[in-house]
Amino acid sequence: MRVKETAKIKVLVVDDHPVVRVGISTIIDTQPDMTVVADTGSGEEAIALFREHQPDLTVMDLRLESMGGVACIRKIRDEFPEARFVVLTTYRGDEDIHQALEAGASSYVIKGMPRQLLLDALRRVHRGERFLPPPVTDALASRNPDTALTAREREVLALLARGKCNKEIAAALGIAEITVRCHLSEIFQRLNVTDRTQAVIAAAQRGLVHL
């Protein structure tokens, strides 16, 4: 973890890869109008650092060591409703994007995009704007709200993606096997698939599960 104080635009960087975190911080620190006040790979530590430094912006990955990025955004915004987030992640599924924006992110940038795009996103979000690059808006536009899964269906799907059979899913969730079968039938219909393997593949592509 690194910490420093400044009067510039203060940025908190949250990413679970130390090398990536250093790279992002270096890009930001070379800008004359902004600086990184702290960085971490932990969602829990991100919350503590946000409380301590109350940065103007937070660059948030969705995949973290423990608490996920979406949950971290929600927890911080519960305490600091004006907190502003730029998501920077490898996840490009429409459901990933939807969940991040619903949690309160103002921008969603996919790793591998030009670094100037990240800097533009940071400056525009700092001005109070929302910034979504074309590939992100295209993915979001493809999302069909009618295919959204319930919380329980997501739990079933997550266990399915881990290779659990119906009996194991039922035991893990404390429900009957017939209920699991009903949930799977609904999941297959909403994902427009016909079997378990197709369901996992479709869910991974959309960001409903991460393998």
Helix (H) or strand (E) holding 37: strand 34-40
Q: What is the pLDDT of residues 53-104, one digit of tens each?
A: 999 999 999 998 788 999 999 999 999 999 999 999 999 999 999 999 999 9
Three-class secondary structure of residue 134 per DSSP: helix
Candidate from 1-10, 69-78, 97-106, 198-207 with smallest mean pLDDT: 1-10
Domain 145-206: which topology?
Answer: Arc Repressor Mutant, subunit A (1.10.10)
Angstrom distance (rounded) from CA 62 to CA 43: 10
Q: With beta carbons less than 8 A apart as the criterion, state whether 42 and 66 touch.
A: yes
Q: Give per-residue pLDDT as tens, 146-191.
A: 677 888 998 999 999 999 999 999 999 999 999 999 999 998 988 8
User: Cα(39)–Cα(181) distance, rounded to whole angstroms?
Assistant: 44
pLDDT the model gives residue 1: 55
The fold of 9-141 is Rossmann fold (3.40.50)
Q: Report domain extents, the chain.
A: 9-141, 145-206
Helices (H), the chain: 18-29, 43-53, 69-79, 94-103, 115-126, 134-141, 151-161, 166-173, 177-191, 196-206
Structure tokens at 169: 């899913």
CB 136 within 8 Å of CB 108: yes
The model's pLDDT over 21-44, given as tens digits with 9 standing for 90+, comes to 999 999 999 999 999 999 999 999
The pLDDT-based confidence of 2 (bands split at 50, 70, 90) is low
What would the two tokens of residue 118 be?
């990240």
CB 192 within 8 A of CB 206: no
Question: What are the φ and ψ backbone dihedral angles of 107, each rounded to 5 degrees?
Answer: -150, 155
Taking residue 172's Cβ as centre, other Cβ atoms within 10 Å add up to: 15
